[in-house]
A = this chain, B = another copy of it.
Amino acid sequence: MPKISEEQKAARREHVLAGARRCFGRYGYEGATVIRLEQEIGLSRGAIFNWFPTKEDLFLELAARDNDRIVSIWIEQGLEPALRAVLDEDPEWLGVYLGVAHRLRTDPEFRKRWDARAPKGQEGQIMARMRHEQAAGVLRSDLDPEQIGGFLGVVFDGVALHRAAGYEPPLEVVLDLVRDALDPSRARDQSP
């Protein structure tokens, strides 16, 4: 086999991922059979699984990238641009996420891999950002960043589900109300 450069390797890997994303979007996770992956990517299973040993690896790599993109926006620019970025996701692809809910609930190994899809340290960076906002007085500080993150996780999921089902999430009012909920003036008096 002729040698290929690192750039060529990277380009091929991207080609595989782009085709896999289209295939998952079109047929869902379960429906994306090896034959359909071959057709959509335009490579044999041998060539595809040279890059990603299983369909699950392909899927988790794509999920990790989206997660990274949204969370990076949150870390660098804040919550509002991150929530807006969910609306830029392909609804077809968001639907694929919803389709793995069953596996997440029933397959502990898959769930472990899914939970690990965020690059190491990313969650710590979100927490650090929130603690910084708390210290700066722009985020209420009577709740742990973990608790606020739990609430925001529900909001992100709700926006994603609306989007996947073709309903326009009422993003402006959601942003206004989330902002109000997290405003420092909301903090409850914690003295006994």
Contacts and interface: CB of A to CB of B under 8 A. Distances in A.
A177 B151 contact: yes
Nearest to A105: B166
A112 to B, nearest CB: 12
A101 interface: yes
Interface in A62-115: 91-92, 95, 98-102, 104-106, 111
One complex includes copies of this chain to the number of 2
Nearest to A179: B181
A154 B165 contact: no
Contacts of A151: 170, 173-174, 177
SS class, residues of chain A in contact with chain B? helix
A184 to B, nearest CB: 11
A159 interface: yes
Interface in A136-192: 143, 147-148, 150-151, 153-162, 164-167, 169-170, 173-174, 177-178, 180-183, 186
B170 A150 contact: yes
User: Which of A99, A157, A174 has most B Cβ within 10 Å?
Assistant: A157
Given A151-B177, A158-B155, A177-B151, A95 B91 contact: no
B180 A154 contact: no
A151 B143 CA distance: 22
A155 B153 contact: no
Interface string A43-68: 00000000000000000000000000
27 contacts: A28-B102, A91-B105, A92-B102, A95-B105, A98-B99, A101-B161, A101-B165, A101-B166, A104-B167, A105-B164, A111-B166, A143-B173, A148-B177, A150-B170, A151-B170, A151-B173, A151-B174, A154-B170, A155-B158, A157-B157, A177-B181, A177-B182, A178-B181, A180-B180, A180-B181, A181-B181, A186-B186
